[in-house]
Amino acid sequence: MVIVPKHASQPRRPLVEHPPGKIAAATPVAHARTNAELEQLLAERTIERDDVARDEALAELARTNAELEHRLAERTIERDDVARDEARAELARTNAELKQRLAERTIERDDVARDEALAELARTNAELKQRLAERTIERDDVARDEALAELARTNAELKQRLAQRTIERDDVARDDALTELARTNAELKQRLAERTIERDDVARDDALAELARTNAELKQRLAERTIERDDVARDDALTELARTNAELKQRLAERTIERDDVARDDALAELARTNAELKQRLAERTIERDDAARDDALTELARTNAELKQRLAERTIERDDVARHDALAELSRTNKAEEQLRLHAGELEALNSELESFSYSVSHDLRAPVRAVLGYTRAIADDYGTLLDEEGRRLLSVVEGEASRMGDLIDDLLAFSRLGRQPMANILVNMTSLAREVTAEQILASEGRSLIDIADLPAVRGDRVLLRQVWVNLISNAVKYSSKSAEPQVHVWATREETRTVYNVRDNGVGFNMAYAGRLFGVFQRLHRSDEFPGTGVGLAIVMRIVQRHGGTVWADARLGEGATFSFALPTGGEE
Amino acid sequence: MSDIDDVEVLLVEDSRHDAELMMRALAKCDVNSKLHWVQDGVDALEFIRCTGAYDGRSFDQRPKLVLLDLKMPRLNGLDVMRELKSDERTKTIPIVVMTSSNETRDIRESYQLGANGYVTKPIQSADLAAAIAHIAAYWLRINQVP
Amino acid sequence: MTDEFQNVDLLLVEDNEHDAEMTMRALTKAHFLNRVHWVRDGVEALEYVRCTGAYIDRDPQQVLKLMLLDLKMPRLGGIEVLRELKTDPKTIGIPIVVMTSSNQDRDVTESYNLGVNGYVTKPVQVASFMEAVAQIGMYWLLTNQAPTR
């Protein structure tokens, strides 16, 4: 968001002008000849420049004319009834032949294929009709012959396809085909016996072989189908096995099994059940292709069983004095640690409540008198100011000013002390909108003199309320310390690093001497006098505290008279 | 007792200085509301319930607003609130806590007991004047009471 | 992250589009930079507060400074919303000001009995309406302190 541009755009530089009179002069006669040539060329341009092309164009034109004349003359199109009739007759004959074959069932029974054939036929018909209609066939004897040839070829193709049954795609159709084949076989056999058709032993043997082959293929596919195609299921089984083992081991370790007979029995029962289940699944393994893996699994299973049974039986855990001793020692150690924690927690608790009651006192008891001083001095100024001379009014305003500072200090101290005590939220914070929100308020407060520019900022995990305070302090500082510049500017941007995001606020104000930078973030530490710039010196301490609570760091860089850049880095991770 | 008739604002504040500053600020507002000041919680309850020193008061004359400090001797602000908000006859009187504290705990407890509003007394006199002005403008001019 | 209903200070619960627009304009004119979210009935209002339904992504840590609540609304009215929120210790602290056309004593009494923080009858005149909204904003958004977390 950029506000109040300060400079009008710079006037454009004038274009460089060519110095006049620099073109070399040729002789006037040479000029004239070139021009005439050029003029002539231009004149010729409307005519065909390339005689060859023009001749070609003429020739093309003549040829097209001749062709059209010829066509008109011959009227081979609609006038040639004979050719058209011949074509039609041919077509009809082919139709009849194919129809007959359909009737004779030399085409396969699959309606789809047959429909395809019919469709193909119809399409061919349609196409031919169309071509007839378009007269592209009978116009050109060659084309017509081609068409007839095409027709014949299509017929032949269809015949061939019929013969080879390459149209057969559907299992049902294939089954039909098999059935057909079988039937044909039977028929052929019969014919062989009757010798009405079968002449070719080879053809008959082919048919039988085909049948056998198809059978074998189908058997294999059935056989394969019982094999588990899904590796996932097998992996699931192994995973399940491993998980159950791990679970049982853990339960042993936790001693919930051997202590509790019921649980142990349950565990054994569970184990047995799992074994049975897994055995069954293994047995069902028309799935397990990998004998090695299956054997491994069985072996592992057996081994685990044995181990677990043995451990249960031996109760190696609770009978083991060492282990028990360890357990007791562990227990007492934990107790001690707990005790310490309790003590520490108690101390912390005491400290915290001390701090809380301190803050509470401060907030109630310190603020009230300060409020009174401020209120009453204001009352005096309002109601009796006219009775005072200039010096008197000045003295009064000093009292007011110092009491006001005291009030600010108290409020800031309170805010600072509260920082350590409040729980921190942990949400994804949109830093861009937060910074812009804060900036809008600052602009309102600073009456729009400053140009504050916020770039897009990466989001970060943290406490929005606390981070807001960071922006308020940094941006209001930037505005404050650049307020005396002719053109106050504040820039906010961020840079992403591998494990953190660094947010920066730069101003072009008075800056500070880096030699004193170490004091910047101390409470009540200031590098400027309060009559130069108002402030309590707690703002940056608050910033540092908040950034630290977020696991980050804050630092500053500046030059006297040139401005300052305040940066804070927050760890990344956990954002989208 | 005319000074306790038609009272619109009951100020419950133990510090006379704070009370004076708040009353001055209120007087400067463009609001013509009669204010009565009591210095502790017991007096506040008697005033509202028209008992004790206030038994001549008419119960129907309920204040439009009670400004209630928290830290007071004898009976503190939260106890007063609890008493008033748990009584059917007085629970609908608007009570705005006005205290030095802006501790989260105090704020939360006040609202839990039914406070209508909560204002932290600012230190700066200009801020105090503004706060009183906003309080007066909203609670005495705009807000409706049953 | 949908920003639209996050970090909102004021929830406007109002079924009349015209009134809602006027309210938001009044706030803007009075230089309130607070984020305002507008819902059209009681069901949406409760969903917003409880971070359910369409507002399941809303951060429950976000705290409202004020809910301006109309009474007569479709689906679920203001009285019901008031009852729900003021009887739940988790939401009792949300400052709720009923802002409605009704100045019926019955409505006023019932609202206060349920624990409403304030009650304002919508002025008919535009200027008075804008003025009232500005004063509401001044007190509830600037002066008053709402409970946090």
Tens of pLDDT, residue by residue over A118-173, are 556 556 555 655 655 555 444 545 555 565 566 566 666 655 655 554 444 444 44
Q: Per-residue pLDDT tens for A316-369? A: 555 556 666 777 788 888 788 888 877 777 787 677 667 766 766 766 678 889
Instruction: Evaluate if residue A252 carries a pLDDT over 60.
Output: no
Instruction: Evaluate if residue A527 carries a pLDDT over 80.
Output: no
Instruction: Evaluate if residue A46 carries a pLDDT over 60.
Output: no
**CB pairs A-B closer than 8 Å:** 55
Q: Does B146 touch chain C (CB under 8 A)?
A: yes
Residues in A touching C58 (Cβ below 8 Å): none
B77: CATH: 3.40.50.2300
Q: Where are the beta strands (DSSP E) in A130-248?
A: none
Total structural domains within chain B? 1
Mean pLDDT of A103-126: 54
> Residue C83: pLDDT band by 50, 70, 90 thresholds?
very high
**CB pairs A-C closer than 8 Å:** 24
Residue B69's pLDDT is what? 96
Contact B21 A371 (CB under 8 A): yes
Cα-Cα-Cα-Cα torsion B36, B23, C96, C70, nearest 10 degrees, comes to: 90
Highest mean pLDDT among A47-51, A246-250, A284-288: A246-250
Judge whether B2 lies within some domain. no
Under 8 Å between Cβ of A1 and A451? no
Residue A301's pLDDT is what? 66
Under 8 Å between Cβ of C52 and C26? no
The span from the CA of A398 to the CA of A66, in Å, is: 117
Instruction: Evaluate if residue B79 carries a pLDDT over 80.
Output: yes
- Name B52's Cβ contacts closer than 8 Å, sequence gap at least 6: B42, B43, B46
Under 8 Å between Cβ of A151 and A125? no
Interface test with C, best of B138, B139, B140, B145 (most C CBs within 10 A): B138
Residue A76's pLDDT is what? 52
Interface partners of chain C (CB pairs < 8 Å, 3 or more) are A, B
- Supply the mean pLDDT for chain A: 68
Instruction: Evaluate if residue C116 carries a pLDDT over 90.
Output: yes
Instruction: Evaluate if residue A106 carries a pLDDT over 60.
Output: no
Which residue is listed with tokens 């609770």? A318
Contact A363 B123 (CB under 8 A): no
Residues in C touching A437 (Cβ below 8 Å): 7, 33
Q: What ipTM did this prediction achieve?
A: 0.91
Top-confidence residue, A198 or A215: A215
Residue A20's pLDDT is what? 39
Contact B100 A364 (CB under 8 A): yes
Residue B84's pLDDT is what? 97
Residue in chain C closest to A437 (alpha carbons) equals C33
- Compute CA distances A539 → A53, A418, C137, whole Å: 89, 13, 28
The structural domains of chain C, with segments of one domain joined by +, span 8-142
Residue B129 distance to chain C (closest CA, Å): 11
Q: How many CB atoms lie within 10 A of CB A226?
A: 11
Residue B94's pLDDT is what? 97
Highest mean pLDDT among A19-33, A48-62, A66-80, C68-82: C68-82
Domain that holds residue B64: 7-142
Judge whether B1 lies within some domain. no
Judge whether B55 lies within some domain. yes
Instruction: Evaluate if residue A281 carries a pLDDT over 90.
Output: no
Residue C10's pLDDT is what? 94
Residue C115: left (phi > 0), alpha (psi -120 to 50), or beta?
A: left
Task: List the single range of A520-524, B79-83, B114-118, C135-139 with lowest mean pLDDT.
Answer: A520-524
Residue A433 distance to chain C (closest CA, Å): 9
Closest Cβ opposite residue A430 in set C1, C31, C148: C1
Residue A561's pLDDT is what? 86
DSSP A365: I
Instruction: Evaluate if residue A200 carries a pLDDT over 60.
Output: no
Instruction: Evaluate if residue A232 carries a pLDDT over 90.
Output: no
CATH no., domain C8-142: 3.40.50.2300
Q: Per-residue pLDDT tens for A452-472? A: 899 999 999 998 889 999 999
Residue A325's pLDDT is what? 77
Residue A277's pLDDT is what? 66
Mean pLDDT of C71-85: 94
Residue A399's pLDDT is what? 93
- Supply the mean pLDDT for chain C: 90
Contact A437 C3 (CB under 8 A): no
Highest mean pLDDT among A399-408, C3-12, C39-48: C39-48
Under 8 Å between Cβ of A411 and B127? no
Residue C109's pLDDT is what? 94
Residue A558: left (phi > 0), alpha (psi -120 to 50), or beta?
A: beta
Residue C135's pLDDT is what? 94
Closest Cβ opposite residue B111 in set C93, C105, C109: C93
The span from the CA of A90 to the CA of A399, in Å, is: 123
Instruction: Evaluate if residue A408 carries a pLDDT over 70.
Output: yes
Mean pLDDT of C8-27: 92
A266 Cα distance to chain centroid:
47
Q: Which of A166-189 are b and which e, b meaning 16 or more Cβ less than 10 Å from the residue's Cβ?
A: ebbeeeebbebbbebbeebbeebe
Closest Cβ opposite residue B104 in set C120, C139, C148: C148
